[in-house]
Amino acid sequence: SNGGDDEGMSVSDVARALFSKSGDAAVRAPLLVAMVVMVCQQFSGINAVIFFSGTILNSAGMANQDLGGAIVMGIQVVATGISCLLMDRAGRRPLLIGSLGGMALAAGTMSLYFALRPACPPWVALGALVVYIVSFSLGLGPIPWLLMAEILPARARGVAASAATLLNWTCSFVVTETFADLVQWIEPAGAFLVFAGVCVAGCGYVLVAVPETKGLQLAEVEALFVARRSD
In terms of pLDDT, which residue wins out, 60 or 35? 35
pLDDT (0 to 100) of residue 62: 66
Q: What is the Cα–Cα distance from 162 to 147, expressed in whole angstroms? A: 14
pLDDT (0 to 100) of residue 220: 87
In terms of pLDDT, which residue wins out, 195 or 13? 195
Q: In this predicted model, what pLDDT tens digit does every residue of 64-105 receive, in sequence order?
A: 767 777 777 888 888 888 887 887 788 899 999 999 999 999
Q: Is the pLDDT of residue 63 over 50?
A: yes
Mean pLDDT for 14-42 is 89
In terms of pLDDT, which residue wins out, 194 or 180? 194
pLDDT (0 to 100) of residue 223: 84
pLDDT (0 to 100) of residue 36: 97
Length of the chain counted residue by residue: 231
pLDDT (0 to 100) of residue 60: 62
Residue 230: pLDDT band with limits 50, 70, 90: low
Q: In this predicted model, what pLDDT tens digit does every residue of 211-225 receive, in sequence order?
A: 988 888 888 888 888
Residue 7: pLDDT band with limits 50, 70, 90: low
Q: What angle do CA 199, 143, 228 make, to 5 degrees?
A: 80
pLDDT (0 to 100) of residue 144: 95
Q: Buried b / exposed e across 108-135, counting CB within 10 Å, b at 16+? A: bbbbbbbeeeeeeebebbbbbbbbbbbb
Question: What is each CA distance from 123 to 55, 58, 70, 156, 161, in whole angstroms?
Answer: 12, 11, 18, 48, 40
Mean pLDDT for 129-141 is 92
Mean residue pLDDT of the chain comes to 86
Residue 120: pLDDT band with limits 50, 70, 90: confident
